[in-house]
Structure 1
């Protein structure tokens, strides 16, 4: 297992008003709407999630970093668990011509709003039951998704990722290193269910039998 930072540049490109998230709106109501993972979460008002997920090219460097880190080449098969609108998968097909990509997401809305080039390669489903045979992919990754699961489902999802990969796995999740980052995460999050320090995440990876690579994002 290696800690690999692929997301800090993307994560820090968004400016966040943490206090407004809890003072300006009914946070519990907003979280309830967000957890439906429908239009409001992806393309509705900012209080419910992304505030309009208009792609700006930010995932291309992440795709290039994934390709370089794992030596991806034409013919390799890659799965994104929790792919959302699948812009990262689209960028992977551009970064590595001839790569075979697949994605899974809980949200029918996100899949329906994905780019036409990759939409046929996406499936609606749950990370706890990946609909592919054992050892189907050269790389299985999940970015900023698995912290949205309760711990019992998180364990199963990690085991499922290990089941369907024949080589590499990468997980990136939200975490916190001190009380300020913990409070910022609590203020900002709408869908998170697993709130762990890096040390707790590593313990959970071990308990789940996850042996792939990992990364964290922090709300500084």
Structure 2
């Protein structure tokens, strides 16, 4: 098994779910944040970015936040990587809103280990959902190359804090292997239909237009 750290971006607005705190939503008795942490149980260090609540008492788990808040996945990655002082050879990036991603993480780690053993020059393995869509927040990367790619994208972005920077631009800087995954493993919890699919009851104050009803 390869040695790895994990960065879990978990700071989205949840606007299509009425502005709820998505990582706190409960799927089959476990919050999305804690499900993501459990999916990377073999990680040396785990950084949960943009979310301030976890039931985990594991000393491997720390919290970080991109600045400014809600700056997007590249800024979240930059914050998460900064929080890891000395990286393992690989870093798993796992979005917190993927309830069924645990087997995908296991497969990605196995493929990365096989690629390394066979001397591959690839710098990571990225999950691919139906239709050939890459999932950059469900992937394992060589840590040094991921750090370099994120830094280069942040440096070249219009805003030097990484806000609004493109994950596609990060991936374009890295030769990656692709791993086709079952659609369910890559399905995020992003809309009321997704919530229903995963059996999630949304808070009563959530409204479908992205606002919240405080009445």
TM-score interval (norm. to shorter) = 0.3 to 0.5
Structure having greater relative contact order (Cα 8 Å, sep ≥ 6): 2
More helix by share: 1
